[in-house]
Structure 1
Amino acid sequence: MSTAPGMTAVERDYAQRFDARRKNAAGHWRTALHREFPEARVSVRVDGRDYITASWTGGPSEAQVMAVFRALREEHQGGIPRTIRTRTPEEAEAHKVKTQELANLRQAVEEAEHNTNAAIDDVLSAGQAGADEAEHAARVEAMDRANEELDRLIAAAEELEAVLKAM
């Protein structure tokens, strides 16, 4: 759990209890689904601050899973979040693929940051070494290309993060 640096002790305590309650709710739901559908492979996760996400393969329909959730929510009253997301096996696989794509993009962003920093260093060292104007201009152009690539990758990663959040 992360807390904002400017939080008061009361706000930190509330945030910690809130996170613990959501994780506890996810655990109850996971246990209930395993008990109800022992043949299914079930995953229940806390996503962000607003959702608990369930995905499964080999067993129940979405309606059956939601019936377990509704029964559990009624049983525990306020202890189970009111918002739930479910994923079919196909949706879970698509989410897994997109998550891997995002990991690859983040790696590419790190490499592009390294390339951009190297290009900046190259421009600075060329200026200090007294490189001629044409050589300096070529290095500046290479730095600009590296920076544009970095911006493109960052935008693609942000777009993919938004897609994943909506899944």
Structure 2
Amino acid sequence: MYAMAVMNRHVCPVENWSYNESCSPDPAEQGGPKTCCTLDDVPLISKCGTYPPESCLFSLIGNMGAFMVALICFLRYGQLLEQNRHSWINTTALITGCTNAAGLVVVGNFQVDHAKSLHYIGAAVAFLAGLLFVCLHCVLFYHGATTRLDMAMAYLRTVLAVIAFITLVLSILLGQGSQELIS
């Protein structure tokens, strides 16, 4: 998507770090990157998938990813049921995983420039539900650990989940700060 967006002049290339406050409109030259870039042209993931034809690829990847997430959630749920681990945590993990998949569908099908609030709501649902899914599986893995290696993996998963949580909180806080600077 990034390469398509750069070649279609929808975003600026990553190596262009000299973004201007304003630019005169570039002539409609296809086949090359933009020469004058503003903060609206920063190649963020969602921004690269805003306009056709890359928006079609963005939607396809989002929907396929959501399908794979849901499939993995159901397989993991069934695997734990086969191990006689019937618990509310396993059921809650299934629900949060499917909620994550639903958030991914919303993100993939509502581009950021056309339905900003829906896109951001879908992203928030996907990130939060995905993080909760990972945390619940850390608990399930910890309770199912039988060897020292299993216990070490449970601790490693927990550390990685904590790092992901801290990263999510920092990105939200820093995102709010950058929104205030832009506004």
- TM-score over 0.5 (shorter chain): no
Q: TM-score, normalised by structure 2?
A: 0.29
More strand per residue = 1
Q: TM-score, normalised by structure 1?
A: 0.31
Q: Which has the larger radius of gyration?
A: 1
